[in-house]
Amino acid sequence: MILESAARCPACQHFIKLDAAPGSPIVARHAVQREATTTALQVEGRIRHPSDGGAWEYSVVLTIQDGDGKEINRQVVGVGALLVGDERTFNLSVEVTPTDDKRRPTRSPLSRGRH
């Protein structure tokens, strides 16, 4: 599912144009133009199975938390196995694209309630 405010498809990186006539569902079309995007976070890591022992199973788990530390999304994005001598590189990046949406949070992001 792609958010209505998304400017481009997170999977293929193509620009998204939303077409909707009054009373009809929103249809997303891909085009080749791209919006200006900034990579706000990028982490890369590599794991290598040592030369002894049994296979390793791995799961790539992505969690997103809000400013209060509450988990708002959790997904397993990949699973696999490493045999003796196998190596995998994992890369996580968070891309942000500016929009014209001027909404503000309903409460201050710094307030955490009464303690």
SS3 per-residue string spanning 84-104: CCCEEEEEEEEEECCCCCCCC
The reported pLDDT for the residue numbered 8 is 67
pTM (whole model) above 0.75: no
* pLDDT tens sequence for the chain (115 residues): 455 566 667 667 666 665 555 555 555 555 544 568 899 999 999 999 998 899 999 999 999 999 999 999 999 999 999 999 999 999 999 999 888 888 887 765 555 555 4
- Strands 71-82, 87-96: pairing kind: unpaired
What single string gives the DSSP state of each residue in 35-55?
A: ---EEEEEEEEEEE--SSSS-
Residue 63 bridge partners (DSSP): 74
